[in-house]
């Protein structure tokens, strides 16, 4: 069971923010062996979609309305704790994020910068590839859009 919370940055308490940043660092910096600036100055402009299992942060995304990250609304920092990936939490957190974009921003077109190896995962959620592959922080990515 995954409980979903949607919060603005100012609604985080210190412990919850710490757990979210810890999850992001654990996946994007340590697991993927990628040195990059995760804390990029945009968290205060995002809505944060948090997936909790037994009150532990195990899944996460952040979403932006159009014009902040891309011309379209966007979803990024998609993260699911390694030990919880077998439960389908990636799909659940993405579906909640798509719904949050539609409900909070009243937008339907969503652009993502997807890690290339996850193309099928995002295609199954209704995203289509736009453009060519590119490297982002040394990892192959592809732009995708959902209308």
Q: What's 70's DSSP letter?
A: S
- pTM value is 0.95
pLDDT above 70 covers what percent of the chain?
100
pLDDT of residue 86: 95
- Enter the tokens of residue 67: 């014009």
Residue keyed to tokens 């995962």: 121
3-state secondary structure (DSSP) of residue 8: strand
| Average pLDDT rounded to a whole number, residues 14-39 | 93
CATH superfamily of the 3-107 domain: Gcn5-related N-acetyltransferase (GNAT) (3.40.630.30)
* Confidence grade of residue 34 (pLDDT, cut at 50, 70, 90): confident
Contact in structure between 65 and 107 (CB atoms under 8 Å): yes
Where exactly are the structural domains of the chain? 3-107
Region 117-122: mean pLDDT is 97
Residue range 4-14: mean pLDDT, rounded? 97
pLDDT confidence bin for 65, thresholds 50/70/90? very high
- Residue 33 confidence (pLDDT) above 90: no
């Amino acid at each position: 069971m995954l409980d979903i919370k949607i919060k603005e940055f100012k609604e985080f308490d210190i412990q919850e923010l710490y757990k979210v940043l810890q999850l992001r660092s654990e996946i994007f910096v340590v697991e993927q062996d990628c040195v990059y600036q995760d804390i990029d100055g945009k968290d205060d402009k995002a809505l944060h979609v948090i997936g909790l299992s037994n009150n532990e942060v195990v899944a996460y995304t952040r979403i932006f309305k159009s014009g902040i990250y891309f011309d379209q609304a966007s979803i990024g920092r998609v993260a699911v704790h390694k030990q919880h990936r077998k439960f389908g939490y990636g799909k659940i957190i993405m579906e909640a994020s798509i719904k949050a974009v539609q409900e909070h921003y009243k937008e339907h077109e969503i652009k993502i910068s997807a890690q290339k190896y996850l193309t099928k995962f995002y295609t199954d959620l209704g995203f289509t590839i736009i453009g060519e592959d590119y490297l982002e922080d040394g990892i192959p990515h592809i732009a995708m859009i959902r209308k």
